[in-house]
A and B are shown apart, each in its own frame.
Chain A
Amino acid sequence: MKKPRSSAWRRFALGLPYAWLLAFFLVPFVIVLKISLSQTAIAQPPYTPVLDPIAGWQGLKAFYGALSLDNYRLLAFDPLYLLSYVKSIEIAAFSTLLLLAIGFPIAYAIARTPRRWQAVLVLLTVLPFWTSLLIRIYSWMNILQREGPLNELLMALHLVNEPPAWLATDTAIFIGVVYSYLPFMVLPLYATLEKLDESLLEAAADLGCPRWKIFWLVMLPLSSSGMLAGVLLCFIPIVGEFVIPDLLGGSQSPMIGQTIWMEFFGNRDWPVASAVAVVLVCLLVTPIIIYQHQAMRVVEQE
């Protein structure tokens, strides 16, 4: 490998996307942080305090002194926000477990089919992901409505006497989340299971290890990196999910994505919405860093 030379082309190829991400990914976060520390003013920019660059050090001091933690105090003392965070994390944790339980057998089955089928099965798993989340959730609204196909089926099979209400329940949220995120769980699991050396499983079986123990002692540890990737890839975005709970869930206890949306579009309280978002990022920062670490390691290995 030649020593990389610095050229105009290299500076351009690196500089342009770098500048773009700084401007449209990093700087916006700093602005959110700043506005979350502003006094509440209903959709009325500019939010005080405004940093005056001409005033120099004095200006900076005045700016710093005027920042307030009022919005965060509101979050801490109003149970609405606390409940919202707790509910989001509960839903995300439980549905990630469900996804793992459902995704593992599917990923394993794909990894065990003949090679030429695998590519097709992987494509079939990913395909629904590329149709809009909105549409996929809407299709569940069709199915889960009171006189919908699911209830008709249940009634026809005499499993229920009364058509149960599915919409506006947490069950509907779980169904929607599991449905929408299944490809994100199956793909990383498949990627590790596909590389899994089958002779290890056979060796364990030959030595008289019962099947459940092979699964527990050999297969799970060997597929842990794929499980971690799948869990993070699902858990992090589910916590902030908006469309699924909004269309399928009830209105009495919103998830945190809905709370941000409501503060923003309903109450027009942008500083509080920003504070809610900052706390959410803080909650997610650890899983995000683990995820990035994992993703980069995979890429460097290639």
Chain B
Amino acid sequence: MRKVSGVNVAALILGMAFLYLPIAVLVIYSFNASRLVAVWGGWSTHWYAELFNDEPLVDAAIVSLRLALASATAATMLGTLAALALARFGRFRGRLPFAAMIYAPLVMPEVITGLSLLLLFVTIAVDRGFWTVAVAHTTMAMCFVTVIVQSRLSDFDTSVEEAAADLGASPLRTFLSVTLPLIAPAIAAAWMLAFALSLDDLVIASFTTGPGTTTLPIRIYSEVRLGVKPEMNAVCSIMVAVVGVAVIIASLLAKLAGARGAAARI
């Protein structure tokens, strides 16, 4: 049994306090009755009720949800295929540049990704709007999906897949009836994370959007640039709650995936 020292406990408590106190403050202030954000005026859900009357805000939220749905789905398909290629196809030609293109977007500053995609859309003269942002978010999120699914793929024994192949299943058949069910929880987790990434993104969406398509982060950003507002505290608290629940579900799914991976090894 490991002993946890006092210093370690202190580091954990301070670390978690640092991570969670700001979000707690945000949520508490969202229930503040006073219009002045800094003055506490008692508890109230006034600002939440106000949100639903703010039509542009509701519209932006709907755009963001549709966008996240579309781009997370596309990113999950592309990312899973890419993960399969990296984990199972051996040393194919062009593997290095492929892997480089998967890993680079993970650290690439968003301003650069956004700018370069916008210039692409301008060069090929497409109208910017919902679908250009969806393509941009798909590109960004698929790399995260690849990393998650790939690590799951390299976790479990390939002998099950080889057995299927030996028994005459085609590679596609092997993938659909053996590999896919085994990695399904990881794929679900990756989809949710891609969804959260799209829902959160401000910079890439700002560059690649066109007139008429305003996402929720773009809307929030234009409001909070000028200072703190109680309605924004409320909308941000809702987003925190939604994403928090999604991530907890995703990590439970990932855990399930881990259990299944272990089962596949036996």
Chain A, range 93-114, C-beta contacts under 8 Å to B: 102, 105-106, 108-110, 112-114
Tell me, yes or no, whether B266 is within 8 Å of chain A by CB: no
CB pair A25 B202 closer than 8 Å: no
CB pair B220 A134 closer than 8 Å: yes
Closest Cβ of chain B: how far from A296's Cβ, in Å?
6
Chain B, range 95-122, C-beta contacts under 8 Å to A: 98-112, 115-117, 119-120, 122
A-facing mask of B121-152, CB < 8 A → 1, else 0?
01100000000000110110010001000110
Tell me, yes or no, whether B200 is within 8 Å of chain A by CB: yes
Closest Cβ of chain A: how far from B155's Cβ, in Å?
7
Is the contact region of chain B dominated by helix, strand, or loop, or is it mixed?
Answer: helix
Tell me, yes or no, whether B259 is within 8 Å of chain A by CB: no
CB pair B243 A20 closer than 8 Å: no
Tell me, yes or no, whether B23 is within 8 Å of chain A by CB: yes
Tell me, yes or no, whether B217 is within 8 Å of chain A by CB: yes
CB pair B115 A264 closer than 8 Å: yes
A9 to B81, CA, bound (A): 10
A119 to B165, CA, bound (A): 36
| Minimum CB distance partner of A88 in chain B | B109
A110 to B110, CA, bound (A): 30
CB pair A138 B120 closer than 8 Å: no
CB pair A132 B101 closer than 8 Å: no
Closest Cβ of chain B: how far from A148's Cβ, in Å?
6
Given contacts A24-B117, A131-B239, contact A240 B23 (CB under 8 A): no
CB pair A138 B236 closer than 8 Å: yes
CB pair B251 A138 closer than 8 Å: no
**Interface residues of B toward A: which range?**
35 or more
Tell me, yes or no, whether B31 is within 8 Å of chain A by CB: no
B81's partner among A14, A106, A148 (CB-CB below 8 A) is: A14
A257 to B207, CA, bound (A): 13
CB pair B220 A138 closer than 8 Å: yes
- Give the number of residues in A that approach B within 8 Å (Cβ atoms): 96
CB pair B101 A26 closer than 8 Å: yes
Residues of chain B within 8 A (CB-CB) of A9 are 170-172, 175
Contacts A7-B170, A21-B102, A123-B248 supplied; 19 other A-B pairs, CB < 8 Å? A4-B89, A9-B170, A24-B138, A24-B139, A25-B101, A31-B119, A106-B11, A110-B12, A114-B1, A125-B19, A131-B240, A136-B22, A143-B22, A179-B19, A182-B19, A237-B108, A237-B109, A277-B112, A292-B103
B residues in contact (CB < 8 Å) with A? 1-2, 4-5, 7-9, 11-12, 15-16, 18-20, 22-23, 25-26, 29, 37-39, 78-79, 81-82, 84-86, 89-90, 92, 94, 98-112, 115-117, 119-120, 122-123, 135-136, 138-139, 142, 146, 150-151, 154-155, 158, 162, 165, 170-172, 175, 193, 196, 199-200, 202-203, 206-207, 217, 220-221, 224-225, 227-228, 232-233, 236, 239-240, 243-244, 246-248, 251, 255
A residues in contact (CB < 8 Å) with B? 1-2, 4-5, 7-10, 12-14, 16-18, 20-22, 24-29, 31-32, 35, 45-46, 102, 105-106, 108-110, 112-114, 119, 121, 123-128, 130-136, 138-143, 145-149, 179, 182, 186, 232-233, 236-237, 239-243, 246-247, 257, 260-261, 264-265, 270, 273-274, 277, 280-281, 284, 288, 291-292, 295-296, 299, 302
- 18 A–B pairs (Cβ distance < 8 Å), ordered by A: A4-B90, A9-B170, A13-B81, A13-B89, A16-B81, A21-B82, A112-B8, A127-B244, A132-B200, A132-B236, A142-B26, A182-B19, A233-B107, A247-B225, A260-B112, A280-B109, A281-B112, A292-B99
